[in-house]
Amino acid sequence: MSKVDKLVVVRPLRESELDSMVKIWASSGLPCRPRGRDSLRALRTQRKASPELFIGAFEHGTLVGVALTSDDGRKGWINRLAVIPEAQGKGIARRLILESEKALRARGRRLFCVQIESYNKASVELFERAGYKKEDDIFYFTKREVKSY
């Protein structure tokens, strides 16, 4: 067992911890849509449907990293993975990926996916090291009915 496995507790987040999850995104510089799908209201609703997919990493009892995983019934998605700068480089994101996959596997998913901005070299390296393959022939298209969403 590595040092991070012993010192870091990874578990599903409670509803009362959702605001801390949003703070982790802000402090790690992850773009956030507080008036859209990242609003506390939207997060509360999403968490109620599948609380085991909101995952937090705690170091000495303090939340330092999060992953918001989702299951569309066909694929499992790892979204909004972030670790605060002070806790980066210790294998915490790697651990959050493993726990996300475990939660998705328990729901029957066997295909795990992530969308990464092309400039995010740290995340690309992280997921490649975790066994993910970049699909060069796929483009990501969206149709936004509400701009802030």
Beta-carbon neighbour count of residue 85 at 10 Å? 11
Closest by alpha carbon to 115, among 94, 140, 95, 97?
Answer: 140
Q: Which residues contact 141 (CB under 8 A, 6 or more apart)?
A: none
Which residue type is seen at 41?
R
Q: Are 48 and 19 in contact (CB under 8 A)?
A: no
**Residue 85 to residue 82: CA distance in whole angstroms:** 9
Q: How far is the CB of 125 from ligand COA (least distance, A)?
A: 4
Residue placing its CB nearer to ligand COA in the complex, 28 or 70: 28
Q: Does 28 bind ligand COA (CB under 6 A)?
A: yes
Burial of 76 (0-12, 13-18, 19+ CB in 10 A): buried
Applying CB under 6 A, does 67 fall inside the site for ligand COA?
no
- Considering beta carbons, is residue 45 or 120 the nearer one to ligand COA? 120
- 93 neighbors 81 (Cβ within 8 angstroms): yes
Residue in 105, 125, 134, 148 binding ligand COA, rule: CB under 6 A: 125
Report the site for ligand COA in 69-88 (rule: CB under 6 A). Answer: 81-83, 88
Binding status of residue 12 toward ligand COA by CB under 6 A: no
Q: Which is nearer to ligand COA, 12 or 91 (CB)?
A: 91
Q: Based on the shown chain and the rule CB under 6 A, indicate whether residue 91 belongs to the binding site for ligand COA.
A: yes
Q: Which of 34, 36, 51, 89 binds ligand COA (CB under 6 A)?
A: 89
Tell whether residue 32 is a contact of ligand COA (CB under 6 A). Answer: no
Point out which residues bind ligand COA (CB under 6 A): 28-30, 81-83, 88-94, 114, 116, 120-123, 125-126, 129
